[in-house]
Amino acid sequence: MISTIPNFVPNKPSRIVVAMSGGVDSSVTAGWLKEQGHEVIGISLQLHDMAEKIENEFGTCCSLSDIMDARRVAEKLEIPFYVNNMEEEFRGAVVDDFIQEYLNGRTPNPCIRCNEKVKFRQLMDWALDLGADYLATGHYATVQINSETDEVELFKGGDNDKDQSYFLFAMKQKDLAKTLFPIGGFEKKTVRELAIKYGLLVANKPDSQEICFVQAKSYREFIEDEVPKELLKPGNIVDPDGNILGNHGGLHQFTIGQRKGIGVHGKEPLFVLALRGKTNEVVVGPEQNLFRKSALVSRVNWINEPILGTKKVNAKIRYRAKESPVEIFPTADGKLEVKFEIPQRAITPGQAMVFYEGEKVVGGGWIEDLSIQ
């Protein structure tokens, strides 16, 4: 059953470029738009060249095998299809940032960086160059036009388990106004049913699960293979009072909330509480010390009107986290002090904090370093 959730899609024939990743979601996006009578053009981005090195290619994203799947879908749908090589840009904006963030003791979110710096920015430019009216993707999110302001607003997707609005908080109004999420209100099972209806070979293709450029190894191993050994700086493992409990081989080996593989033991289980980039220290302590009621957020993006004063909204501190009521306090330097009604476990610097009013995404930013309290 097709969703009745409000979601803007033009009701007159338009030229629409579809970002095709080779997965079922973007493939059905292209098929559904063509079925509605639109002129559809498919574009894939070649972001890295590693699929041939991987025995099991499922779980990847934007690999060469995915591009081949996208090409086959385009042929089946009889739509034009282009591939743009963005390996160099992807390396600089996403992969290098990913590595540096871990080296600095932060836990990055490369999918948001890719959306912000590579996919939407570059694809939108190419879509407009092709004379397109809109760029469409297979994200599970929805958009609506505010009748009072004429601005486009971003909302959650119709499938709660697949909602991807968290990853889109960094979108600018000028891009969102030209962006469509045609299947955003559908349930995943409906998307797969449509893929079968359209005769697409990707109908049962598994969803990508891992970081696309880290395959067949852990992210720790990936970083160690990518950077000179002198950048993997060892340091001390300390308790919240600064007492040295042991040593480590680099901040990239840890993330907030981690318990296994720390390398030191105590009278009770120890968890990573903080990563101090300036002193290269890993701070560990009991699990109750992971819960916090406040955080600082920087590089804030408001999708519509900026929030300039104190306001109560809901926030997610990571993609799979539950929303929690917060009160936000803008600071003089453009950051936000966020206070939670309910203490949150493992608030992690480098991750995105996204703010919601009901189903609507109002904006978000990046969690700053935390002090040990």
C-beta separation of 67 from 44 below 8 A: yes
Residue of 61, 62, 111, 114 marked active site: 114
| Whether residue 308 sits in one domain with residue 276 | no
Average pLDDT over residues 189-217: 89
**345 pairs with which residues across the strands?**
291
State the pLDDT at residue 178.
95
| Whether residue 185 sits in one domain with residue 278 | no
Between 24-35 and 64-77, two packed helices, what is the crossing angle to 10 degrees?
20
Average pLDDT over residues 203-222: 84
Residue 216 belongs to a domain: no
State the pLDDT at residue 118.
86
* CATH number (domain holding residue 114): 3.40.50.620
C-beta separation of 98 from 75 below 8 A: no
For residue range 158-184, list pLDDT tens digits in order: 999 999 999 999 999 999 999 999 999
Q: How many folded domains does the chain comprise? A: 3
Q: Is 114 among the catalytic positions?
A: yes
For residue range 90-112, list pLDDT tens digits in order: 999 999 999 999 999 999 999 99
Range of the domain at 325: 291-367
- On the question of pLDDT at 278 being above 60, the answer is yes
Q: Is 212 among the catalytic positions?
A: yes
For residue range 33-66, list pLDDT tens digits in order: 999 999 999 999 888 765 444 444 444 556 678 8
Average pLDDT over residues 274-287: 94
- On the question of pLDDT at 306 being above 70, the answer is yes
Residue 52 belongs to a domain: yes
| Whether residue 254 sits in one domain with residue 304 | no
| pTM confidence score | 0.92
Q: Report how far residue 349's alpha carbon sits from residue 353's, in angstroms, rounded to the nearest whole number.
A: 10
- On the question of pLDDT at 197 being above 60, the answer is yes
Residue 272 belongs to a domain: yes
Q: Report how far residue 311's alpha carbon sits from residue 306's, in angstroms, rounded to the nearest whole number.
A: 11
Q: Which amino acid does the sequence have at 153?
A: E
| Whether residue 193 sits in one domain with residue 164 | yes
Backbone φ, ψ for residue 44 (5° rounding): -115, 150
Average pLDDT over residues 79-88: 92
C-beta separation of 18 from 30 below 8 A: yes
| Whether residue 152 sits in one domain with residue 41 | yes
C-beta separation of 119 from 45 below 8 A: yes
